[in-house]
Amino acid sequence: MKTSPTLTSCNTLAPTLAIIGDKWTPLLIHALSQEPLRFCQLQDAVGGINPRTLSARLSNLEHEGIIIKVTRATMPPHTEYALTPKGTDLLPILRGMFDWGHKYH
Question: For binding to its own copies (CB under 8 A), which residues are involved?
Answer: 5, 7, 10, 12-17, 20-21, 23-24, 26-27, 30, 65, 86, 89-90, 92-105
For residue 60, the minimal CB distance to its own copies (Å) is: 15
- Neighbouring-strand partners of residue 64: none
Task: For residues 47 and 81, give the distance between their C-alpha atoms in angstroms, rounded to a whole number.
Answer: 17
Nearest-approach distance from CB 7 to its own copies, in angstroms: 4
Q: Nearer to its own copies by C-beta: 19 or 80?
A: 19
Q: Judged by CB, which is closer to its own copies: 15, or 51?
A: 15
Helices (runs of H) and strands (runs of E) counted in the chain: 6, 2
3-state secondary structure of 84: coil
> Shortest Cβ distance from residue 73 to its own copies (Å)?
31
What stretches of the chain adopt beta strand conformation (E)?
A: 67-72, 78-83
Q: Which is nearer to its own copies, 76 or 92 (CB)?
A: 92
Cα Rg, the chain, nearest whole Å: 16
